[in-house]
A and B are shown apart, each in its own frame.
Chain A
Amino acid sequence: MAELLLETPPTRRAGLWLDAWASLRRSRAAWVAALVLASIVVAALVGPSLSRYAIDAVDWTQASLASPPSFANGHWFGTDTNGRDLFVRVWIGTRMSLLVAVLATVVSVAVGVAWGATAGYLGGRVDGLMMRFVDVLYALPYMFFVIILTVVFGRSLVLIFLAIGAVGWLTMARIVRGQALALRQREFVEAAIALGLPARTVIARHIVPNVAGTVIVYATLTVPQVILFESFLSFLGLGVQEPLTSLGRLVAEGALEMETSPWLLLIPSIVLGTLLLCLNFLGDGLRDALDPRRPR
């Protein structure tokens, strides 16, 4: 058998995560998206402190309450119909939207992946029961669910995260379950079972990492959904409350004034649109980067 040892020269590999990182660096769309996204995050963090106005301060000095963007008076994005500085409000709103989106997505990914992978892997009756539970939750008019939660526990940000996460994980669980069901039939999973590994090890080591690509793409799609859902909640008076705001709320309010004060709609929409576009590009890039079979 010695002659077989001359097969290929040894090379040291850096590992899949480093490979993925390098590959992400090479994908221009994903890299630009990541940079833009990072600058939006930075703006959301430091932006409000650059302006001399506070979020709830009404500027009575202007001719009208809603004044267009101007560098002269320091209202770089103009003011809203209540005379409050839009620059500050947009970045505070971005901060809020991102916070809700990220936390709710984390919740839905964590619960959804665990639930879906377990159901798909175990299959049979357990799978049936777990997925029927998901169906039942789907069927619940969750708006009532959220309203009841708010009434019982009072309004709070934590509750918004929970409410949105509680809805988001259902779809995630379905997607992951479908993938896990397919992976379960794959020979490498059967080989792992045949090695005598316990179910939780097989799920954690062989199922979950192999659904990561799909999960990441879906998670980046969840973020915009969550942002929109949050604005809907806010619109009903169940979400973020004044004087705090969110991008969804700003767009909704701006839409009402779009004929008289178009900047109120345009500016938050551009920020929101850019944010969502970047997340999608980044999601695509990540999926490709995480596929070990892709040539690099």
Chain B
Amino acid sequence: MSGAPLLEIRDLEVVFDTPAGAVQAVGGVSLDVHEGECLALVGESGSGKTQAMLACLGLLAGNGRTQGSVRYAGQELVGADEAALQHVRGTGIALLSQDPMNTLTPHLRIETQLVELLLDRGLATRAEARERAVQALREVDIPDPAARLRQYPHELSGGMRQRVALAIALMGRPRLLLADEPTTALDVSVQARVLDLLGNVCASGLGLLLVTHDLGVVAALADRVAVMYAGRLVEVAPVAELFAAPRHPYTAALLAAVPRLRGDEYGRLPAIAGTPPRPGQPAAGCAFAPRCSHAVQACRETKPDLRGLEPGIDVTVACHRPLSAVAQPA
């Protein structure tokens, strides 16, 4: 992880103008994604994780505004004009979204959708593009790729559709892949293959920003994890560190609430009381304080900043009273 980061997000802020006034969906998010690294952005619905990712590509809904800085390979994307963004999309940064049925156009053959980008940008001749398409399908483990090119999306199974969507995303040889809940719509038996493929993508040197709520997926794929709550980062840590010793009470509670297949107990799940705040209801202090069992008065009054813990540990946490590594059951 040497050299300049591929994607550099600084103080990213996303605000939506609604009839009820401006609503802040994302605030003060700073993240780096390096080449060959998988950074997982974890959060529950409404935490702003998807909006943060869309803002990177300038794909927010019409009433959304972005502030701060997003740099891809040194190029500023916030405020960049549409032509510049177009150039980065596809060939620089590619997007893999949740539902493969919505990503693929139903009435076009797989081939058309694969070669579209290359032909549009004049990056290849039709024959070359076709060659690359076969190659791309082979890379995502699609059997008999030449025959698949002639098929339509509805003729493929869900898992295969998502792999085709991945192949399409990789056609422009991007350096960074943004994946939004790439396995949520899939059955567990096909999830595993898509996760493997995404792992290979990272291993081949691409940066991967994985947006998900599924901590199982995070554990399988991520190198570093950034946890979001109510539009803000609460903890950023290497994956092993985060799962072994979560420092933010929210991270800890979230990990505890995940139902597991292994373990002796068949008892109750440790739930987090209360409901996540809705966007647009800013709290004076820490947004998690009303649901936090460790909260003190200070937590309700001042917003904690994201800061490093001890020297030598690559963990940053936004909490007035971070949990100590010792107090955590491993």
User: Do A and B interact directly, with beta carbons closer than 8 Å?
Assistant: yes
Q: In the complex, what's the smallest C-beta–C-beta distance from B323 to chain A, in angstroms? A: 20
- How long is the Cα–Cα vector from A148 to B32 in the complex, in angstroms? 80
Complex Cα spacing A104 to B290, Å:
58
**CB-based contact B20/A3 at 8 Å:** no
Report whether over half of chain A's contact residues are helix, strand or loop; otherwise say mixed: loop
A25 to B290, CA, bound (A): 38
| Contact between A7 and B20, CB atoms less than 8 A apart | no
CA A295 to CA B63, docked complex, whole Å? 14
| Interface size range on A against B | under 10
Binary B-proximity of A1-22 (CB < 8 A = 1, otherwise 0): 0011011100000000000000
B18 contacts the other chain (CB 8 A):
yes
Interface residues of A (CB under 8 A from B): 3-4, 6-8, 295-296
A182 to B58, CA, bound (A): 35
Residue count of chain B within 8 Å CB distance of chain A: 7
Flag if B274 contacts A4 (CB, 8 Å): yes
Q: Are B273 and A295 within 8 A (Cβ)?
A: no
Cβ contact within 8 Å between B18 and A4:
no
Whether A7 and B18, one on each chain, are in contact in the complex, defined by CB atoms closer than 8 angstroms, is no
Alpha-carbon distance between A7 and B277 when the two chains are bound, in angstroms = 10
- By a CB distance below 8 angstroms, the chain A residues around B273 are 3-4
| Identity of the chain A residue whose Cβ is nearest the Cβ of B290 in the assembled complex | A6
**A3-B273, A295-B20 given; 12 more Cβ-contact pairs under 8 Å:** A3-B274, A4-B273, A4-B274, A6-B274, A6-B290, A7-B274, A7-B275, A8-B275, A295-B18, A295-B19, A296-B19, A296-B20
Enumerate chain B residues within 8 angstroms of A7, measured Cβ to Cβ: 274-275
3 closest Cβ pairs, A-B complex: A3-B273, A295-B19, A7-B275
14 A-B pairs with CB atoms under 8 Å apart are A3-B273, A3-B274, A4-B273, A4-B274, A6-B274, A6-B290, A7-B274, A7-B275, A8-B275, A295-B18, A295-B19, A295-B20, A296-B19, A296-B20
The interface of chain B, by Cβ under 8 A from chain A, is: 18-20, 273-275, 290
Bound complex: CA A296 to CA B20 (Å): 7
Contact residues in B for A3 (Cβ distance below 8 Å):
273-274
Total CB contacts across the A-B interface at under 8 A: 14
Which residue on A lies nearest to B273, using beta carbons?
A: A3
CB distance from B76 to the nearest CB of A (A): 33
User: Closest CB of chain B to A258's CB: distance in Å?
Assistant: 45
Q: Which residue of A lies closest to B275 (CB)?
A: A7
Whole-angstrom distance from the CB of A178 to the nearest CB of chain B?
21
Closest to A26 in B: B19
Q: Which residues of B contact A8 (CB under 8 A)?
A: 275
Q: Which residues of A contact B18 (CB under 8 A)?
A: 295
Q: Please name the residue on chain B nearest to A2 by beta carbon.
A: B273
B278 to chain A, nearest CB (A): 9
A3 to B273 CA separation, bound complex (whole angstroms): 7
Q: Which residues of A contact B290 (CB under 8 A)?
A: 6
| Whole-angstrom CA separation of A8 from B274 in the bound complex | 9
A20 to chain B, nearest CB (A): 15
Q: How far is the CA of A8 from the CA of B20 in the complex (A)?
A: 19
A4 and B273 CA atoms in complex are apart in Å by: 6
Q: What's the nearest-Cβ distance from chain B to residue A28, in Å?
A: 13
* A residues less than 8 Å from B19 (CB atoms): 295-296
Q: Give min CB distance, B249 to chain A, whole Å.
A: 15
Distance between Cα atoms of A7 and B274 in the complex (Å): 6
What's the minimum C-beta distance from A24 to chain B, rounded to whole angstroms? Answer: 14
C-alpha gap A295/B18 in the complex (Å)? 8
**A296 partner residues in chain B, CB cutoff 8 A:** 19-20
> Shortest beta-carbon distance, B39 to chain A, in Å?
33
* A7–B291 CA distance with the chains assembled, in angstroms: 10
Closest residue of A by beta carbon distance from B20: A295
Q: How far is the CB of B273 from chain A (nearest CB, A)?
A: 4
Q: Which residues of A contact B20 (CB under 8 A)?
A: 295-296
